[in-house]
Amino acid sequence: MARIVLVGAGSITFAKNLLSDILTFPELTESTIVLHDIDPARLATAEAMATWMVAELGVGAKIEAHADRRAALDGADYVINEIAVGGLAAVQRDFEIPARYGVRQTIADTLGIGGIFRALRTIPVMVAIGHDLAELAPGAVLFNYTNPMSMIPWAVYAGTPFRNVVGVCHAARDTQSTLARMVGVPEEEISFTTAGVNHQAFVLRFERNGENLYRRLDELIEADPELRRRVRVEVYQNFGYFPTESSEHGSEYLPWFLPHADQVEHYRIPVGVYLDWLADGFAEYESQKRSLDAGEGVTIERGDELASLAIHSMETGTPRLIHGNVRNGGLIANLPADACVEVPCHVDRAGVQPTRIGELPTQLAALNRSTLNVSELTVKAALEGRRDHVYQAALLDPNTAATLPVRRIRELVDELIAAHGDLLPEGVRD
């Protein structure tokens, strides 16, 4: 049976959701589940949780826990990655230092100055994982959840011999469900095509039996002033297609919102909200740990995590469609070939098979290229150890550039490099 490795298994909610799915698929119940984390306490909690779930469900899955990454990856069929290099302290630096310069952020993990530095911390570890997989499990599939999604898979396939990496994210699927609810049409009756760059993809087709459902959406927006106070609705009305990211997150990728206090207020943008989410996550971890220590276990409920669905399809041949983040290679004709793009992917025993989209509408490709410019320079900065590319990525970042002049951006970069220190690639921090 399959050997499924969870890297970053100490993220207990993430691990619980994946295991709930994997262990309740009858065809996967004899799998070997391998847990890896660099935090011994969290790894022990993850192992206790997985062991309890297997016993509670009465299935035959085997649980392994390894602090050593290579031991965990050896012989893997599937690897699911959700690491957070530097933990809470690093994220706090990503918020607190830019805030002193006047740079507002909400999530700081995809683009912006926070996304750049999250990538610079994460890419060296992901490159090491890629090299390990090329040696120890060359036939494996690496499913990546870690942001920034437009950069992490790119760094793996550009910086290592390992190519079989697919980024998975809920944003496209959730947006399609949201739009279906908004227009009052069952999702299964709607024809969707959604593609672009992760967290900045767009719903290109939104139809039922030939009816363009965007007309219904326009009527809803026209009738509801509160809808017009959402960033993603503003983007839709100006660019013609609905974006896949939430208003909170999407505000960070553009120059028109966070640099302006009145726009922050008008669009109700929750600056720094990710720190609140992290605090909630730590509280949930402690609650689950107490429950496990008391022998009470955790809640097991299916959540249709994308990686678990893809694994099930590849193991059983059950056909599914997911949105994957993969090397472009002409899938979207008017975006760079080497870029990591998000497109619909068919999944079955043959693996993850991306859909060729053709050209995006010109205005959407232009927005995506702004994101990919930052992504490409950040990936090159990490892989080549070039501090100048970090400056350039920050200078081209829409939110940072709209907030600060050149000199202050360079000073901000220098301060963040000094603060993150050894977490960054050697050439960048020299």
- As annotated, the active-site residues are 170
- Identify the bridge partners of residue 341 per DSSP, sorted by sequence position: 326
Longest dimension (CA), the chain: 61
Spatial CA neighbour of 163 closest among 205, 134, 121: 134
| Residue 150 to residue 147: CA distance in whole angstroms | 8
| Residue 217 to residue 29: CA distance in whole angstroms | 43
| Residue 65 to residue 46: CA distance in whole angstroms | 8
Spatial CA neighbour of 312 closest among 80, 10, 49: 80
3-class secondary-structure state, position 204: strand
**Residue 105: DSSP 8-state:** -
Sequence-ordered list of residues with C-beta below 8 angstroms from that of 240, at least 6 positions apart, any chain: 361, 363
Write the DSSP assignment of 264-278 as a string of letters. Answer: HHHTT--TTHHHHHH
Query: Where do we find the tokens 């898979």?
Result: 153
- The answer to whether 171 and 198 are in contact (CB under 8 A) is yes
The tokens for 47 are 């192992």
Spatial CA neighbour of 285 closest among 88, 74, 97, 91: 88
